[in-house]
């Protein structure tokens, strides 16, 4: 996932120039759906790795273009609020599952 997100984020400018930001967000949605279907239905480790790479590409597109799309759509007075709200929810989305996963694991219950 990290490799796919890195590659996509590093080449995001070319994608925005060629496809546009809105189409790139739709491609990210499509990539997420395809990768999720592959991960849910496969029994092959190779297909699982391919799906993780695809979802990494989609996450790279989401992380890059969603910020820009919010900034472009928001009125000038609300752009700072829009991007800070995006940052807060993204951070909470990364921290909460990590906390919930570690607090419910068997290792954490032995202390």
Instruction: Tell me the three-class secondary structure of 54-106, residue by residue.
Output: HHHHHHHHHHHHHHHHHHHHCCHHHHHHHHHHHHHHHHHHHHHHHHHHHHCCH
pLDDT of residue 5: 81
pLDDT at 109 over 80: no
Mean pLDDT confidence for 17-45: 91
Q: In terms of residue numbers, what domain contains 64?
A: 1-73
Q: Say yes or no: 58 and 7 in one domain.
A: yes
Q: Say yes or no: 60 and 105 in one domain.
A: no
pLDDT of residue 104: 62
Q: What is the pLDDT of residues 42-79, one digit of tens each?
A: 999 999 999 999 999 998 888 888 888 888 888 988 98
pLDDT of residue 107: 60
Q: Is 3 in contact with 54 (CB distance < 8 Å)?
A: no
Mean pLDDT, all residues of the chain:
84
Q: Say yes or no: 105 and 58 in one domain.
A: no
Q: Say yes or no: 55 and 6 in one domain.
A: yes
pLDDT at 105 over 70: no
Q: Exposure pattern of 80-109 as b/e (b: 16+ CB <10 Å)?
A: eebeeebeeeeeeeeeeeeeeeeeeeeeee
Q: Say yes or no: 16 and 34 in one domain.
A: yes
Q: Say yes or no: 61 and 82 in one domain.
A: no
Q: Say yes or no: 68 and 81 in one domain.
A: no
Band of the pLDDT at 16, cuts 50, 70, 90?
confident
Question: How many domains, in total, are found in the chain?
Answer: 2
Q: Say yes or no: 31 and 55 in one domain.
A: yes
CA atoms of 60 and 65, how far apart (whole Å) = 8
Q: Say yes or no: 60 and 100 in one domain.
A: no
């Amino acid at each position: 996932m990290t490799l796919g997100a890195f590659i996509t984020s590093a080449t995001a400018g070319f994608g925005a120039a060629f496809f546009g930001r809105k189409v790139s967000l739709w491609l990210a949605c499509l990539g997420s759906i395809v990768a999720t279907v592959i991960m849910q239905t496969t029994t092959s480790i190779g297909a699982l790795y391919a799906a993780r790479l695809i979802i990494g590409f989609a996450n790279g597109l989401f992380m890059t273009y969603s910020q820009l799309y919010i900034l472009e759509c928001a009125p000038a007075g609300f752009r700072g609020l829009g991007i800070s709200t995006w940052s807060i929810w993204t951070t909470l989305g990364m921290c909460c599952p990590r906390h919930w996963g570690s607090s419910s694991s068997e290792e954490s219950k032995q202390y």
